[in-house]
Amino acid sequence: MQLLRVRHWTKNILIFFPAAFSGRIMEPYFLKRNILGFFIFSAVSSMIYIYNDLQDMDKDRKHPKKKERPLASGKVAVQTAYGLIFAIGLSAGVFSLLCRIPVKYLIIYLGINIIYSRGGKDVPLLDVSILASGYILRLLFGGDLSGTGVSGWMFLTVMSAAFYLGFGKRRNELRRFGAGGRKCLDAYSDAFLDNSFQMFTVLTIVFYSLTCMDRETYVAKCGADFIWTVPVVMLICLRYNRLLDSGTSDGDPVDVVLKDRFLIGMIIFYIMSCAALLYGC
């Protein structure tokens, strides 16, 4: 399970956003498609994690944290890892075709992550851009599954949040492991990463606020006053920033969120508030 990075499947919850914010999430057909899409995308992302671990196996053995990964530690054989990649890829492809799940996003996701694994992660700015594109593809994939597409403001919100998470991760890696932690970190200064992180914090909140006020969305049409969720999003961002500044994490978003009960509670409260506003109207 550690090799598959099941904990990181939480990122794929983003797939449900377009259906949820369009009012279609409770319709059986779209709910089924989103659930299927979630598991197929999760399978593909697990395949990429395995491939990336295979590429980095030798380097990971020298890393203070990554040396405990299944391949780097020798707990899982290389042949087993390649077998899993083949089995997962075949299963995801078959289910996508049988269930008529759009595969173009999966193919693009595979392509950009192979580029990342084969050297893209060593190129400054390209590394963060590829990380951010993964979140954007999840959103677009969800928009296709729900048949609603994605509004411009929602796209900008998720894009900003994705760069916010990416720069936060690189900032903490530089602070915790130094420039030797990754090749691309040699080209980053602490000031640049900190400024970029803060800039995308602000942009995320601004674009989210504009999403809430967009009169062309389902949120506005059903009468839900989503502007009241903005303070909750601000608190979530502030808590996340504080956790990164504590210096106890390398900035991995999944680890940061899942290890903090207060942050989990805030996110659950936000989801419940959105559900009440959307489906109570």
Rounded CA gap, 250 and 92, in Å? 31
Nearest residue to 168 via CA among 232, 100, 247, 224: 247
Per-residue pLDDT of the chain (281 residues; tens, 9 = 90+): 677 889 999 999 999 999 988 878 888 999 999 999 999 999 999 999 999 888 878 776 776 677 777 777 778 788 888 999 999 999 999 999 888 898 999 999 999 999 998 889 989 999 999 999 999 999 999 999 998 889 899 999 999 999 999 999 999 888 887 766 678 888 889 999 999 999 999 999 999 998 888 766 655 555 567 888 999 999 999 999 999 998 777 788 999 999 999 999 999 999 998 888 887 75
Rounded CA gap, 197 and 169, in Å? 9
C-alpha count within 13 angstroms, C-beta hemisphere, residue 274: 22
Rounded CA gap, 41 and 112, in Å? 14
pLDDT value of position 76:
77
pLDDT value of position 15:
96
Measured over the CA atoms of residue 206, residue 207, residue 213 and residue 218, the dihedral's sign is: negative
Q: Are residues 119 and 1 in the same domain?
A: yes
pLDDT value of position 235:
97
pLDDT value of position 264:
96
Q: Are residues 130 and 177 in the same domain?
A: no
Q: Are residues 125 and 160 in the same domain?
A: no
Q: Are residues 227 and 267 in the same domain?
A: yes
Looking at 124, 149, 174, which one is the last position of a domain? 149
Q: Are residues 140 and 156 in the same domain?
A: no
Domain count, the chain: 2
The range of the structural domain enclosing residue 53 comes to 1-149
Rounded CA gap, 169 and 33, in Å? 32
Q: Are residues 132 and 161 in the same domain?
A: no
The predicted model scores a pTM of 0.91
Looking at 84, 119, 149, which one is the last position of a domain? 149
CB atoms within 10 A of CB 264: 12
Contact 204, 231 (CB under 8 A): no
Looking at 149, 165, 189, which one is the last position of a domain? 149
pLDDT value of position 75:
80
Nearest residue to 60 via CA among 128, 3, 8: 3
Rounded CA gap, 134 and 196, in Å? 19
Q: The domain spanning residue 60 has which CATH number?
A: 1.10.357.140
What is the DSSP code string of the chain? -TTTTGGGGGGGGGGGHHHHHTT-TTSHHHHHHHHHHHHHHHHHHHHHHHHHHHHHHHHHTTSTTGGGSHHHHTSS-HHHHHHHHHHHHHHHHHHHHHTT---HHHHHHHHHHHHHHTTGGGSTTHHHHHHHHHHHHHHHHHHHHHTS---HHHHHHHHHHHHHHHHHHHHHHHHHH-GGG-GGGGG--HHHHHHHHHHHHHHHHHHHHHHHH-TTSHHHHTT--GGGGHHHHHHHHHHHHHHHHTTSS---HHHHHHT-HHHHHHHHHHHHHHHHHHH--
Q: Are residues 197 and 79 in the same domain?
A: no
Q: Are residues 189 and 113 in the same domain?
A: no
pLDDT value of position 281:
59
Q: Are residues 126 and 208 in the same domain?
A: no
pLDDT value of position 249:
72
Q: Are residues 93 and 171 in the same domain?
A: no
- Alpha carbon of residue 95 to chain centroid: 23
Q: Are residues 119 and 251 in the same domain?
A: no
Q: Are residues 123 and 87 in the same domain?
A: yes
